Amino acid sequence: MGFCRRLSGACVGPHAQCVAGFRMLLANFGVAGIVLGLAWVWTGTSQKLDAASLQDWDAAAAAAYLDDRQAWWMEWPRAARDHGTSCVSCHTTVPYALARTALRVAPTRIPSTVEGRLFESIERRVTAWQEVEPFYSDTEHRVGKSRESRGTEAILNALILMNRDAQAGVFAATTRQALNCLWELQLHVGEDAGAWPWLNFGLEPWETDAAQYLGAALAGVAIGTAPDDYVSEPRSQLGRARLVAYLSGVSDFQHLFNRLHGLWTTTILEDGLTSLQQQSVITDTLGLQQKDGGWALSALGSFQRLDGTALDQSSDGYATGLVVFVLQRAGMSREDGRLLKGLNWLRAHQAEDGSWPASSLNKARNPFSARGRFMRDAATAYAVLALTGG
């Protein structure tokens, strides 16, 4: 646990024409210029992509795809919110923010233009926390949505800003404010004590009753990334203890998608799931690996589509990327035959536009439509995290 002061990389622009420039930077500054992603930020270990990894997949195309999609999201009218901000989505924005830092290159390793816009939007909402409207209000939707929105946003703001600060080796005042907002909304009593209110629109896997566990796990990643002197403060210590009790106390009742996030958080907090629970997640996950080496998102829980159509049972980039990323975090070697098969699946399934395939758990969608790409957004981000060394 603790704060890493390792610098991050240079940007890749939001448009397809930036791919050529990105590749030129790779040639000029070498493979060592690529900094590993989120996982190593939190351990303080500086890893680099090896030559074989760069030859096996197109990092520049992945960066361009992620920037393009996040730029589109922030400009989409339905994502617009007050004070000139945009909604922080679990499908596009959060994975983007976590993975994009893995694709910065030397020599400056500064955030891309799109990342900068995202950070400005989040900081504007954090500093005007008492004035901004919730993402979804009771008035516009139904009773309870304002509270759920506040809890969800508090987690995601803290996670994204804390990840940014860890990459830059600073702890910004706005990030501290975001963490303080997070603690203010943590639940203290009842069966959900230690968690936070979380948005529920009945949409898998991010907006359901069960997704409250996912939210708590992401909060744990943010908290575990904070500087030691902040984590050692009494309020942080008490809140962290509540969170750890929640994560381990209800883990056995969660579907595997949630339990994987609980395992990830445990590696960051250095506490959470018991050793038996951790081993159970690993064993259950490896048991679902498909013959082609990948994993299917539909197999990670008892999901059913709202439109009654059959779930896609084939391996996809989201499940495979998430699994390989988390299992590496949990200590499995990239040379382990099972992870090697997963990595090879990812290397073989990147599309020409830089993305990886995934399909909706809620309804049959055109995977290349604007909304149909939401799952591809998450898949691409987690594929990047897995391939860059998780």
69-91 pLDDT, tens digit per residue, is: 999 999 999 999 999 999 999 99
| Residues forming a β-bridge with 80 | 86
Number of structural domains (the chain) is 1
This prediction's pTM = 0.87
Contact, 376 vs 367, CB < 8 A?
yes
Model confidence pLDDT, tens digit, residues 189-199: 999 999 999 99
Closest to 121 in 3D by CA, of 150, 91, 156: 156
**What pLDDT score was predicted for residue 168?**
87
Neighbours of 161 (CB within 10 A): 25
* C-beta atoms surrounding 51 within 10 Å: 10
Q: Is residue 2 part of a domain?
A: no
Helical packing angle, 145-168 and 211-225, nearest 10°: 30
Collapsing DSSP to helix, strand or coil, 202 comes out as coil
Q: Is the pLDDT of residue 261 over 60?
A: yes
* Rounded Cα–Cα distance for residues 283 and 285 (Å): 5
Q: Is residue 269 part of a domain?
A: yes
Burial class of 142 by CB neighbour count within 10 A (0 to 12, 13 to 18, 19+): exposed
Instruction: Report the first-to-last Cα separation within the chain, whole angstroms.
Output: 16
Residue 11 confidence (pLDDT): 33
Helix, strand and coil percent figures for the chain, each rounded to 5: 55, 5, 40
| Range of lowest pLDDT (25-29, 209-213, 314-318) | 25-29
Residue 1 lies in a domain: no
Could you tell me if residue 10 is inside a domain?
A: no
Residue 105 maps to a domain: yes
In a domain, 3, yes or no: no
* pLDDT (tens digit per residue) in 330-380: 999 999 999 999 999 999 999 999 999 999 999 999 988 988 999 999 999
User: The CATH number of the domain where 180 resides is what?
Assistant: 1.50.10
CB 362 within 8 A of CB 306: yes
Taking residues 282-305, report their average pLDDT. 98
The count of other CB atoms within 10 Å of the CB of residue 78 is 8
**Distance between CA atoms of residues 326 and 331, nearest Å:** 9
∠ CA 264-53-382, nearest 5°, is: 30
Is 152 among the domain residues? Answer: yes
Strand partners, 85: 81
CA distances from 216 to 175, 194, 195, 220, 265 (A): 18, 8, 5, 6, 9
Q: Which residue has the tokens 């991010």?
A: 206
Question: 125 in a domain, yes or no?
Answer: yes
Tokens, residue 334: 């990239």
- pLDDT of amino acid 102: 81
Residues in contact with 177: Cβ distance below 8 Å, sequence separation at least 6, in sequence order: 126, 127, 129
Reading the block at residue 329, the tokens are 């975090």
Q: How far apart are CA 115 and CA 148, in angstroms?
A: 26
Q: Check residue 204 and give its pLDDT.
A: 97
| In contact, 39 and 328? CB cutoff 8 Å | yes
The answer to whether 119 touches 156, Cβ cutoff 8 Å, is no
Q: Are 219 and 227 in contact (CB under 8 A)?
A: no
pLDDT, residue 288, reads: 98
Containing domain of residue 140, as a range? 18-387
Tokens in use for 350? 């990147």
